[in-house]
Amino acid sequence: MTQKGLINLTFGLLMGVPLFGSFHLLNELPHDLNQNTLDTLVEKLFFPCEFEEIPLDLNQQAIDFECRGNPFLTEDLVGESIGKGSWGRFGRKHDSPSNYIQVAYAQNPKTSPINHSSTVLSITEQPHVESWAGFFFDLNSKIDFPKDMNAISLDVFSKKPGQKVLLKLEDSTNGGLFSESQVFTTETNSWEKLIHDFPPSDTHRFDRMTLILDLGNVNETQTTYYIDNIAFSTPNQVSDLPKIQPPTPQNPTANVFSVFSDPYPSIPKVNLYPQWGQQTEHSIVRDSLANSLLKYFKLDYQGIEFAPINQGLDVSQMTHLHIDYYVVSAVNLRLSLISTQPTTEVSYPLPTHQKKRWISMDIPLDRFSDTSNGVDLTKVFQFKIEELGDPHSGSIIYLDNLYFYRANQLELVWSDEFEDDEINLNDWTFELGNGCPHLCGWGNQELQHYTEENHRLQDGFLIIEAKKSDQNAYTSTRIKTEGKREFTYGRIEARIKLPRGEGLWPAFWLLGANIKEVGWPACGEIDIMEYVGKQPGMIHNAIHTTSSYFTTQNKQSTMIPNVEEGFHVYAINWTSDAIEFYFDDQMTYRYAPEVKNEKNYPFDNPQFLLLNLAIGGNFGGPVGDLTQFPQQYMIDYVRVYSPNKTF
């Protein structure tokens, strides 16, 4: 097949959809076809068209699927063949070794004034595929949004109102770099044009498009979706003002030096807008509850001065700098703390991959001072917030609750640094087997058999290794501190490096020590960190209680680009009022029921720790064809801090 030549291909509607008298051919197919062979036959069964294979390039013309562009052949799937890898699909049925989604050119199911094209693109899902099943395709060049047209329109044949259509732009060389937009359908069995807005700062960044046509829904029967006519568009005129409030500060006023925050009195004579010659437009706005927010528009850099330059402010008795920020559009933010005499500044990155949600950072002040040329905490006087991306991109951020605070001094009450030759059995117990006979598959249809042999201590790390035998059996390790080390309240953390690959499910979690008396979920479960390889770059926090265990209602998933690349600290701060989850210095989730009882907060009792690497299961999903074994889950340390010893 040539890249640009005309070729005769046959495309059409997918399995089970008759067209032009071809349905009888389906009944003659062998019943033992593998998925890729079946896909190839489906691609060639139906109506012929003169197909022109050309690179998809939104910068040159709209993508109209009129029998030209990417042919979406199985041989071209990314990661599934030796082809050129121009597209891919994801989201498989739990018990299937292959993807259950097909993409093909098809006849327009119902022409309308919105879309009267003869040919469109069909996406067919078999029953019970993942709720996030979809596909992606590569573009010939990075998307360059025209002036005032930082939106992408998409014709969708809507099955029903409320269908959540996700359009995600990605960097094909780094899946951790992306921007996404979700729009709901409003029609029933009709074409409608959906407009997905993107921030201007996304220009020149992405060369891959990902589409999920009904995010969050699992179809009980085979379902075919249709799309057409992808083009640049004028964005919807919607206010970018945050619709939700940032988290309410929890620190006592006596322990705070506030620069900008409604709940706290500010340091005297704070200058929010020193004139440094920057282009940033700034203002104070009010959210829906009249909370003050600091808005930066067209951000390149902007300073805040909170002390005289000739003396500075002494924050050496404080422990952290807190900031809540909300990214409408930005690429590469950082916050600098500046001290005087001599002027010294040290910066700290502020993640921008999660848009339009409040992000809370609690940055230890020693991140600014304990460097080779650190700031002097006895005389700090300025912040600087800057955008290191395109200075003409029109980046927009909101700020709130910018303050220094002194945290309670937590005492290290127990830790395992894994420095010995063997695991300390005074602290840990191995759980062995596959959970049978009482909890086969460990209650989640997991595939692994736990052994002691799948772990080792090496170079100060606990290494849990998942292995696959020649008979496709899996082994791993799971350890717990039940009956040996149990804790109530405090900070619990571990420094961890994750494995990677579809079907892998490492976790760091807690269970109530009274589980044998009251059972699960009445004992309570705190999932400090869960990761599943089928969702690269995503970490999960969750709470399980009697009031909210079905479908895991109290949870948060956070995208951390390239989280698998190195070690990170996963932690909770656990009190009688709340459980706060942290990734490094970023709060990712806070669980705090307004009215607490034993059904929603059984966390006033001791819990024990668990570390394990599961394979497959309800959450882990099927093991991918490309997943390599053995895989290593590495733990540098586990530490527990508390104001009072509780064990």
Q: Which residue has the tokens 């093909």?
A: 104
> Side chain identity at 118, as an amino acid letter?
S
Is 525 noted as a catalytic residue in this protein? yes
Contact partners, residue 242, CB within 8 Å, separation at least 6: 287, 293, 326, 356, 358, 398
Q: How many whole angstroms separate alpha carbon 215 and alpha carbon 483?
A: 43
Q: Of 43, 525, 565, 580, which is the active-site residue?
A: 525
> Side chain identity at 436, as an amino acid letter?
C
Ramachandran region, residue 263 (left: φ > 0; alpha: ψ -120 to 50; beta: rest) = alpha
> Could you write out the DSSP letters of every residue in 415-473?
EE---SSS--TTT-EEE-BSSTTTSGGGGTTB-EEE-STTEEEETTEEEEEEEE-TTS-
DSSP code of 248? P
Closest CA to 195 of 162, 227, 161, 230: 230
Beta bridge partners of 632: 465
Beta bridge partners of 178: 170
Task: List C-alpha distances in Å: 19 to 86, 110, 363, 570.
Answer: 28, 14, 62, 54
Closest CA to 307 of 264, 349, 341, 348: 341
Structure tokens at 272: 């929010």
> Side chain identity at 336, as an amino acid letter?
S
Cis peptide before 536 (omega within 30 of 0): no
Q: How far apart are the first and last CA of the chain?
A: 69
Cis peptide before 249 (omega within 30 of 0): no
Q: Of 465, 530, 564, 565, which is the active-site residue?
A: 530
Is residue 110 classed exposed, middle or buried when 0-12, 13-18 and 19+ CB atoms within 10 A define those classes? exposed
Q: Please give the positions annotated as active site.
A: 525, 530
